Structure 1
Amino acid sequence: MKTYRVGLLVDGYEQPGWMHEMVDWLIHSQDFDISALLVMDGPGAEKPPRLGVKALFGTLSRFESRMLPAKQRQMLSCGDMRQRMPSASVPVLPLEVGDKGQDAVAALGLDLVITLGASRATRTQMRGWARLGVWQLSYSDIAVSTSRYAGFWEVFQRQDHTTVKLWRVGPAPEQDELLDQRSFNTEVFWLKNQARAFSLGNFMVYDALQALARARQSEPAPEMQIMSGPRRADPVEWDSAAYIARQAWLISDLIVRRIMKRNIRWRIGMFPSSRQQAVVSEAMVLQPPKGRFFADPFVYTHDKKPYIFFEDYDFTSRKGTISVATYSDGAFRLLGTALNLPYHLSFPYIFEHDGVTYMVPETCGNRSIELWKCTEFPLKWELDVTLMTNISAVDTIIFKHGEYWWLLTNIDRTDGQSHCDELFAFFSDSPRSTEWTPHACNPIVRNPMRARNAGIVVSPSGEVIRCAQYQGFCHYGKGVSLNRIEELTPSTYVETDGEIHYANFLSKRHASMHHWHHQGGHTVFDFAYME
């Protein structure tokens, strides 16, 4: 029998697909039972948009919806919520706006009420509805109670990140309790950004419910940083027109870049130091030939000589392989291809265990995390074991810390939309294990400013610096931060945020840097700019 009785509060029967996804998750959960559908009826406090705003945003929505993937169109398409209920026995309780209906809801004996979309119920009305109170998501800092323009302002203002918050509603606005706050890289178009916001909001609720079921609801969420801005007003006609003008300029710029074949090409730099300021004065550059780029370098010392393993991407085939270069006598020398598979490869993380050299390349194209063993250094490798299957994960690092081996990876839970927003940790007794235990606080980092792995630095004393990518609006690889792992156990994760370093040394348009690694007295990094 399920432990918690949950009620869903909506403002009408016809609701978008992301709300239906919430229903499906609750139906299949082991701990939560949908015990009521609460439907507000009648006019609410939220004013309907003016006719001009409605017309402009309606036209904009119809245009942008055509560019959405099928999954995201489904998230925004409406259907009758009553048809999603697990059975006809689930009560559907119509409510009126105003301080009425408390007794009818209280009589249901709910443990929790989750508000989906715009809530027109008053705080007085919701008081006493459920033992654990009322949860509510808010988007874009417009208001706690609205989702109509979720994700719009971040695209309009070209902000790097879009934030979603989960609240427990209090008797007054200043008494609302912030349960969780997360963000993601702002998408180029409003509706795509909105779909991402709704998807992330759902995952925040799922994670909070699972924590509640594990009786950990009193623990603070990892990477909880207050990023609130001033409350934003709903957009008006001028905002819609200005948005269209801005998007037209952006699209035209992208088209011109494609026509002129102006690619952003990644290169690799190396210097014999771990000092960030040494980049400009001491870095040696490994230049890719025309039609390719080099990225994600890892340096590995063998016979006292540095070997650089890196992603070798071909623009024609649109696929990456793993290549190797070495450095001696003041020059790089390409040695050849270490790994070439039917699917894309990148991020060739190298480590040693029991005298054997291993590689964990990014094999997301095969929906796996694979461990490869070196049979003849540096160009011959064979698949040793598949660590995880049926998973959309990138940029995996494996290292020994304390009594366990740790696997940190970026998993996408939104059907391939982004790997940059969340970092997951797993632990095991062996790096060759096929059974990895999830960290109790997964995802351990929930912030696109520092979630995606960009390399690692492990000192001889065991100190671990986890390098992380910083993403910007329409700018992949805007910078890199070096973050110190202070505490890592099966139930805790503490990381000190390092300064974000940008590729300012390039003084070029769209200067980028998104990888950093140090080993054996050598540091490698990648950088790019618009050609």
Structure 2
Amino acid sequence: MLARNGPGTSPAGADVAFGDAGTAGRIAVAVVLPAGAAPDAGAARLLETLACDARFALAARIEGPRTPSAPPPLVAGLLALEARVAARPPHVPTPSFDALDLPALTVEDALRDMPEVDVVLDLAPAEGAEALARRARHGLWRLSTAADTAGVADALRGAPESRVRLCRLTAPGAAWETLADAAYDTKFLAARNRMFQREKAAQLAEHALARLAEGLLAPAPSADASPEPASATALPGYLARTAGEVGRRLSDKLAERRGRRPGRFCLRLTRGSILEFDHRQGQELDAPAGRYWADPFLFEDGGTTWLFYEEYVYATGLGHIAVGRLDGDGFTPLGPALDTGTHLSFPFVFRHGGDIFMVPETGATHRLEVWRATDFPTGWTLHATALEGTACADTVFHPDGDGYWLFTNICRDSLGDFCSELHLFRADGPDLKTVTPHPLNPVVVGSRNARGAGRITALNGRLYRPSQDNSHGTYGHGLNIMEIETLSATDYRERRVRHLAGPEAPGLIGCHHVDVAGDRVVYDIRRP
């Protein structure tokens, strides 16, 4: 730990005591923060995570004036107005980071007095901070969202996604390298998109630091860490799109109150495999008026194939788990299978030993819940819970050896977004006696492919994970099939081998979930 010298800043020429934070296998990180301002919400969460993770040691706090990147006056005025109305930045406390009591150094202090660290993480970006690259074994790291204008140009031009990058500078004047990048869905309000990208980008730095700690970091070719400039010439088109989006949302709300179903989900049945089914055709199963059906799962038991799914009721704003039976090519709905009075969806059903279990999405309870069948398929009792205080979505178990891999999506932002962080845990089974996080969490980052879209499927000796493509401003815009290339206690890698976009099929705006049992395939689609 640094010794405090004066009121938070070491004067020129003063001796600053640096501890041995980088020894014993720990990654020593110096952080650069904007002088005179609190870190944004994403940076605050990242600082708190690093302060609590035994793999890292926060060795120095460096503060400096931000590098100017102000947008044109008209754009700046618009951002200020939107921020007051719909994008007020939240305050995120950092008790563990604050307890370190690191004094604030200037960039000049750090260049003169700071011993070499592993990483200088520039969250400002501060003027002159590039010179700090020579004080770090793995260089200066900077997020593209650190600039004031990050995310603004994407919203102004109506981009379907916003690309965020984590770049590294190994020496002053050298070319920037890409350490990690991700695409996030573009929010239609520019100020909200800027806030969203800043909060989510911290995941990239967290993931890259975890890979560094595990010896897995692999930089890509050079890239520019600066964001696209925001231009006032894009304002007329932006204002027209914004007015249209606000009008559409109001219209949808009114339609829901009248019993209509804008943007509804419904199910389709077909035959094939997860790599071959055609989302443009199939037997369609639609919910009664005032409801929609989504998140279907198939389960075979006693020679019968059962279909579990979310039934969402517009009047209550809640979903419950429903079940039906497949009879040949027909479908017989049987009604509710699980209804707790809170929102339920994503009914992942699996067998363990002689019992049948369900892991529904129970994000409203802020914990992971496993239910056991007492009178299958409509009688269930709460069996075990884990991850108390954590909102989880779209959880699946995959057996491996004497335990299970648990895949789940977690929200760690102020906008309620579950679509951009995939977390992996090792669990003993449905009893949830041991649930151990993977060292690379979050193992997948970004709106394009992080959120789960069904169970892990084995086919021809390979593992496939369905995931959602939540770009283009549409929840459930498309469906990815990701091949899991590496799944181990120290590493996770996957690649996309198939992509299905809802708009590719006539009359659809989305396709976001799939499950397979034998040669039966069920998936959901989304209609206007």
Q: 1:449 Cα deviation (Å)?
A: 1.8
Contact 1:164–1:200 (8 Å) recurs in 2: no
Contact 1:181–1:226 (8 Å) recurs in 2: no
Describe the superposition over 1:283-335 as per-residue Cα deviations: whole angstroms up to 9, x where unpaired: 22222000000000111122322211000000000001101111226432111
Please show how residues 300-379 of structure 1 align to structure 2 within 5 Å.
300-328=299-327, 330-379=329-378
- Who is 2:157 aligned against? 157
Whole-angstrom distance in 2 between the partners of 1:226 and 1:160: 25
Cα separation, partners in 2 of 1:85 and 1:519, compared to 1, 3 Å? closer
Cα separation, partners in 2 of 1:187 and 1:488, compared to 1, 3 Å? same
Contact 1:6–1:36 (8 Å) recurs in 2: no
5+ residue gaps, structure 2, are 2-19, 23-27
Whole-angstrom distance in 2 between the partners of 1:187 and 1:411: 20
Contact 2:183–2:447 (8 Å) recurs in 1: yes
Whole-angstrom distance in 2 between the partners of 1:284 and 1:210: 45
Cα separation, partners in 2 of 1:505 and 1:303, compared to 1, 3 Å? farther
Q: 1:346 Cα deviation (Å)?
A: 0.4
1:244 to 239, 243, 247: 239
Whole-angstrom distance in 2 between the partners of 1:399 and 1:172: 46
Contact 1:298–1:349 (8 Å) recurs in 2: yes
Contact 2:392–2:411 (8 Å) recurs in 1: yes
Percent of aligned positions with the same letter in both sequences? 24
Describe the superposition over 1:388-442 as per-residue Cα deviations: whole angstroms up to 9, x where unpaired: 3221110011121344311111111224531111211112333322311222322
Contact 1:7–1:34 (8 Å) recurs in 2: yes
Q: 1:186 Cα deviation (Å)?
A: 2.0
Please show how residues 490-529 of structure 1 align to structure 2 within 5 Å.
490-504=489-503, 506-508=505-507, 511-529=509-527
Look up the SS of the partner of 2:448 in the other structure. Answer: coil
- Who is 2:77 aligned against? 59
- Is 1:117 matched with 2:124? yes
Contact 2:123–2:142 (8 Å) recurs in 1: yes
Instruction: Give the counterpart letter for 1:526 in structure 2.
Output: D
Look up the SS of the partner of 1:264 in the other structure. Answer: coil
254-263 or 438-447, larger mean C-alpha shift: 254-263
- Who is 1:14 aligned against? 37
353-362 or 179-188, larger mean C-alpha shift: 179-188
Q: CA RMSD in A?
A: 3.3
Please show how residues 80-119 of structure 1 align to structure 2 within 5 Å.
90-93=103-106, 101=108, 105-111=111-117, 112-119=119-126
Instruction: Give the counterpart letter for 1:147 in structure 2.
Output: A
Contact 1:372–1:385 (8 Å) recurs in 2: yes
- Who is 2:16 aligned against? none
Look up the SS of the partner of 1:13 in the other structure. Answer: coil
5+ residue gaps, structure 1, are 96-100, 140-145
Whole-angstrom distance in 1 between the partners of 2:427 and 2:345: 24
Contact 1:27–1:86 (8 Å) recurs in 2: no
Contact 1:307–1:325 (8 Å) recurs in 2: yes
Whole-angstrom distance in 1 between the partners of 2:417 and 2:385: 23
1:39 to 64, 81, 92: 64
Look up the SS of the partner of 2:465 in the other structure. Answer: strand
Contact 1:110–1:130 (8 Å) recurs in 2: yes
Describe the superposition over 1:213-254 as per-residue Cα deviations: whole angstroms up to 9, x where unpaired: xx42x4137xx9889799765223323344223212222233
Describe the superposition over 1:8-61 as per-residue Cα deviations: whole angstroms up to 9, x where unpaired: 4355423553455555555555542353434249xx7x5765xxx22x233212
Instruction: Give the counterpart letter for 2:421 in structure 1.
Output: E
Cα separation, partners in 2 of 1:168 and 1:505, compared to 1, 3 Å? closer
Describe the superposition over 1:59-93 as per-residue Cα deviations: whole angstroms up to 9, x where unpaired: 212321134366x3447xxx9x9xx9768872533
1:219 to 216, 220, 228: 216
- Who is 1:186 aligned against? 186
Instruction: Give the counterpart letter for 1:220 in structure 2.
Output: L
Whole-angstrom distance in 2 between the partners of 1:92 and 1:505: 54
Count of aligned residue pairs for this structure pair? 495
Cα separation, partners in 2 of 1:226 and 1:495, compared to 1, 3 Å? farther
- Who is 1:128 aligned against? 134
Describe the superposition over 1:80-130 as per-residue Cα deviations: whole angstroms up to 9, x where unpaired: x9xx9768872533x6xxxxx4x862323251433223332174x435344
Cα separation, partners in 2 of 1:487 and 1:402, compared to 1, 3 Å? farther
Whole-angstrom distance in 1 between the partners of 2:210 and 2:280: 48
Contact 2:140–2:168 (8 Å) recurs in 1: yes
Look up the SS of the partner of 1:64 in the other structure. Answer: helix
Instruction: Give the TM-score normalised by the residue count of structure 2.
Output: 0.83
7-16 or 363-372, larger mean C-alpha shift: 7-16
Cα separation, partners in 2 of 1:3 and 1:360, compared to 1, 3 Å? same
Look up the SS of the partner of 1:175 in the other structure. Answer: coil
Contact 1:269–1:286 (8 Å) recurs in 2: yes
Instruction: Give the counterpart letter for 1:448 in structure 2.
Output: S
Instruction: Give the counterpart letter for 1:137 in structure 2.
Output: L
Look up the SS of the partner of 1:358 in the other structure. Answer: strand
